[in-house]
Amino acid sequence: MVVLKYNANFDLKGSFMSDKTTRANIVEAADQLFYRQGFEHTSFSNIANVVKISRGNFYHHFKSKDEILAAVIDFRLEKTRKMLDQWEMDGESPEDRIRSFIHILIVNRDPIMKHGCPVGTLCSELAKLNHASQAEASKLFTLFREWLSRQFVQLGLEEEADLLAMHILARSQGVATLANAFGDEAFVEAEVKQMCDWLQTQITRTVK
Amino acid sequence: MVVLKYNANFDLKGSFMSDKTTRANIVEAADQLFYRQGFEHTSFSNIANVVKISRGNFYHHFKSKDEILAAVIDFRLEKTRKMLDQWEMDGESPEDRIRSFIHILIVNRDPIMKHGCPVGTLCSELAKLNHASQAEASKLFTLFREWLSRQFVQLGLEEEADLLAMHILARSQGVATLANAFGDEAFVEAEVKQMCDWLQTQITRTVK
DNA sequence: ATCGGATTAGGATGGTTGTCCTAAAATATA
DNA sequence: TATATTTTAGGACAACCATCCTAATCCGAT
């Protein structure tokens, strides 16, 4: 494992490895700022202030702002994949794993109330900007969609799996949007409970 | 009715009535552009090009861009109130009226797939910008929330009315967000059907 | 110790933004 | 018709933006 990691870095040596820390800092700072302020409303100065590097120096790491966005989306995709893999390992049953998904709304309740869902708000913004990375951002949704779909398949709901996946994906999105608009914690909790109940209904429906 | 309308305009005479057309043009153009491109991404030039007036002239009608936003929100609030009133008159039963709400997703399916929900995306954007009009924009949600709540009360679901209202509001939002991200018409239709079924469930639950 | 590429800082550039100013045109009032 | 007010156009403005350039500095390999 350690060797693998070392090799992986070694392969990227030269143009990459030495500035990896700075590059990573930029991506992580941009990730947070894009989430909290939106992509368009975040300037190079904003990111530079956080990372504490000069504006001009930026273009040694990224050719353009769009390239930073692409890197941020990749970063989020990777983070999400890891999280889903983790859930796959931790969750004892498919319903457990789906419950993990539903409970993001609780775990991330505070940031969601302040800034909405990082996936949904990014996709919405890029749609308005008609941005080239729009499709790439939607892959974040696809990641969840396919993962959820797989869980439903494992529950023996092959035929409806994708629709069921889209269903809770949509409900999570809706809850995030309203939580952001109203700042109502109780509503979030109530909806999470309902979604878990709904999940139970789907499962018992299988048994029949 | 005609007299009322006339008087209403007459009261605003002088600084208002004569430029009402231009002002209204600005607001309506801004309304559309804010929806399609987002508030921040829409410039004065953009609006001016649509309305065909010069940039500089703008400040005779509005003191600032924020003031245009405020006017757009007011405009949308008024439009929404009228629509809800209309539904109140047209819908033969509370369930009919709630179905009218659910069916916005069908009626406005194409713009929603392109640009998302006008209410949800505006609220999200203003939240990211930390904009002063954030609260005012949320009133658009409140309008729907209270209207829906009233319908559920009329269905004899006093106690849960507000939660039920928030529930379909959230689901509509989620459907809009995913429809925008995926551009999937079939999904919209399937979810609308499910929401109508859910509504039926709530009603039969009352009878018991 | 020297050299060369990687990395940095900081300023220059051109374009766009929201805002403001002024003078002309249009319109209303008398 | 003469005067006052509203409405307009178009340019000036400072601020900000993404981007680019150049010269200094760092650091690893020789």
What single string gives the DSSP state of each residue in A138-205?
Answer: HHHHHHHHHHHHHHHHHTT-TTTHHHHHHHHHHHHHHHHHHHHHH--HHHHHHHHHHHHHHHHHHHHH
Residues 6+ apart with CB under 8 A from A32: A50
Cα–Cα–Cα angle for B51, B57, B137, rounded to 5 degrees: 65
Question: Does B8 have pLDDT greater than 70?
Answer: no
**What pLDDT band is residue A58 in, cutting at 50, 70 and 90?**
confident
For residue A3, the model assigns a pLDDT of: 26
Distance between CA A19 and CA B180 in Å, rounded? 37
Distance between CA A205 and CA A91 in Å, rounded? 21
Residues 6+ apart with CB under 8 A from A26: A47, A51, A53, A58, A61, A62, A68, A71
Question: Does B174 have pLDDT greater than 90?
Answer: yes
**What pLDDT band is residue A91 in, cutting at 50, 70 and 90?**
confident
Q: What is the arithmetic mean of pLDDT over A78-107? A: 96
B44 touches strand C (CB under 7 A): yes
Rounded to whole angstroms, what are the CA distances from A102 to A90, A99, A157, A200?
15, 5, 18, 13
Looking at residue A64, the DSSP 8-state letter turns out to be S
Chain B residues with CB under 8 Å of a chain A CB are 36-38, 40-41, 114-116, 120-121, 123-125, 127-129, 137-138, 141, 163, 166-167, 169-175, 177-178, 180-182, 187, 190-191, 194
CA distance B180 to chain A (A): 7
Q: Indicate the pTM of the whole model.
A: 0.90
Out of B129, B177, B187, name the one closest to residue A177 (CB): B177
Q: Is pLDDT larger for residue B5 or for residue B95?
A: B95
Question: Does B71 have pLDDT greater than 60?
Answer: yes
Out of A40, A173, A180, name the one closest to residue B123 (CB): A180
For residue B207, the model assigns a pLDDT of: 64
The mean pLDDT value of chain B amounts to: 90
For residue B81, the model assigns a pLDDT of: 98
**What pLDDT band is residue A208 in, cutting at 50, 70 and 90?**
low
Q: Is pLDDT larger for residue A25 or for residue B13?
A: A25
Looking at residue B130, the DSSP 8-state letter turns out to be T
Q: What is the dihedral of CA A28, A52, A64, A69, to 10 degrees?
A: 20
Q: Is pLDDT larger for residue B2 or for residue A24?
A: A24
Structure confidence by residue, pLDDT tens digits, A121-180: 999 999 999 999 999 999 999 999 999 999 999 999 999 999 999 999 999 999 999 999
Cβ of B178 within 8 Å of Cβ of A170? The answer is yes
Structure confidence by residue, pLDDT tens digits, B113-135: 999 999 999 999 999 999 999 99
SS3 A36: helix
